Amino acid sequence: MTELLCIGNPIVDVFIDIDNSLADKYGITDPIQHIDSGTADALLKEPAVDFSKAVKSSGGGSANVAKIASMLGMSASFSGCTGQDILSGIFMEEMTASGVNLVLEKSNLKTGLCFACNVNGELRFAACPSASLELNESHINDELIRTAEVVVLDGYILDRRSLVQHILLLANRRGIPVALDAASVMQVKSKAEEILTYSRSFPLFVFMNADEAITFYNTIRKTGSDEAFLTERDKEAYIISDVSPMLKIITDGEIYPIIIVKLGGRGAIVFASGNMYREETFAVIPRNTVGAGDAFCAAFISAWIRGKSLSECASLGNKVAREILEVPGTHIKRGKLKNFAKMLRK
């Protein structure tokens, strides 16, 4: 029996330091961008970057969820598509060492990767999903889905509508809830109506950060607004005053959907059965924010499976996410999470 079946884009996160000239050379000029395989290969061979010292970690939203959940003592499986190269070996070794059961398809394309670039103190991401995009509905069958208690979907697969709907239908037939992370503001802008439709039609958990929740609200309401908030406190206040009434209406059912808004250092807000639950935390200075939201999701869903209250789920999510802020990506030792694993066994 698999407690969490995580499906998504398997990638390897590569953490590097580059200067502005290299960033311009490879087109890494925005906070988040996609690069083609040729650019990714060229950057990997860039003589000005010492890749022998670069931290390389298995990554991808749902893969991170599977890894952290497994470290918390849960039974977790991951399904996705990788290449047959060195990066695939890195991904598989770290995931397996974390205790994750891998159900991988193989492609002739190269394994997806994401460069997390520190450009003079500014973090920029350059992703090349490559082989991960080869996963399709023919790879996901009822035999895989039926053993899970919760299916976790990477929001970046929302672009593959037939795959997402196939998974949702298979899970729904078995009465299995699906946890979906919105992934990014750009995904929410283009997929808000689909996310809303899925939340009304299937047993769904939806995870969004503050910016994504605000974008979701503005897109659904068709306000055309794009608020520029100065502080995290401003975002929180806007979500509570303006966004929350809509999310209460959307979640006003017997159980699902459940919408979780992650506020980073300000905790989280959970919307369920037309109610709002606030769970605060204390802020820390992060070494790196990559994977913290995925860790929150892993801990939240793990606690929910183990019968914890929504408040307890959010509280554990906050605590585990805080640990991930201390390491690059989800490159964390199991021992760092052992106390949280004990909490789930109580």
pLDDT tens digits along 57-116: 899 999 999 999 999 999 999 999 999 999 999 999 999 999 999 999 999 999 999 999
Please, what sign has the CA dihedral across residues 219, 222, 227, 233?
A: negative
What is the spatial distance between Cα 238 and Cα 214, in angstroms, rounded to a whole number?
Answer: 8
Q: How many helices (H) and strands (E) does the chain have?
A: 13, 14
φ, ψ dihedrals at 175, nearest 5°: 70, 30
Residue type, 227: E
* Residues 139, 81 contacting (CB under 8 angstroms): yes
Supply the angle between the helices 161-173 and 185-201 in degrees, to the nearest 10. Answer: 30
Which tens digits make up the pLDDT trace of 320-336? 998 888 776 677 777 78
* Residues 241, 217 contacting (CB under 8 angstroms): no
What pLDDT shows up at residue 137? Answer: 95
DSSP character at residue 177: -
pLDDT band at 288 (very low <50, low <70, confident <90, very high): low
Beta partners for residue 258, in sequence order: 205
Average pLDDT in the chain: 92
Please, what sign has the CA dihedral across residues 292, 298, 302, 308?
A: positive
* Residues 122, 29 contacting (CB under 8 angstroms): no
pLDDT band at 203 (very low <50, low <70, confident <90, very high): very high
CB crowding 228-253: b at 16 or more within 10 Å, else e: eeeeeeebbebbeebbbebbbebbee
What is the spatial distance between Cα 142 and Cα 148, in angstroms, rounded to a whole number?
Answer: 10
pLDDT band at 290 (very low <50, low <70, confident <90, very high): confident
Indicate the SS3 state at residue 3: strand
What are 1's two structure tokens? 């029996």
What is the spatial distance between Cα 170 and Cα 295, in angstroms, rounded to a whole number?
Answer: 26
* Residues 78, 62 contacting (CB under 8 angstroms): yes
**Residue 319's CB: how many other CB atoms inside 10 A?**
17
What is the pLDDT averaged over residues 223-243?
83
